[in-house]
Amino acid sequence: MPAIRIPTPLRAYTGNQAQISVHGATIGDALNDLTTQHPELRPHLFNGAELRSFVNIYIGEEDIRFLNGLETEIEEDDALRIIPSIAGGN
């Protein structure tokens, strides 16, 4: 079963678990399963149906935006990671 690593600030919404096992054949399925298990995560990952611009999903070293986005297929033993891109401005 694929596992997703949760960034530190969002572990407050996963019972402080750093890693969550998920079901799904694609990244989109896996994120839907993750946010079904932990609904409070969803508004911080998604804006409507779209991933927030500063939220990046990696499979190993690969950013899914350079693969097939939420349609990217995943394998049972894939290690996924949610990595924010910090940004600020005035």
Partner 1 sequence: MNVVLDHQLQQRIFAEMVEAYPNEGGGFLLGTLDGDTVSIADVVHISNTFEAEEQYHRYAMTPQDWARLEDEADARGLTLVGYYHSHPNSPAIPSVYDRDHALPNFTYIITSVQNTGQPSPVEMRAWLLRADRSQFDASTLKIT
Residues near partner 1, by CB under 8 A: 7-10, 12, 40, 43-44, 53-54, 56, 58, 63, 81, 83-90
Nearer to partner 1, 25 or 65 (CB): 65
For residue 1, the SS3 value is coil
Nearer to partner 1, 40 or 73 (CB): 40
73 vs 83: CA distance, rounded Å: 19
Nearer to partner 1, 24 or 46 (CB): 46
Q: What is the dihedral of CA 23, 26, 29, 31, to 10 degrees?
A: 90
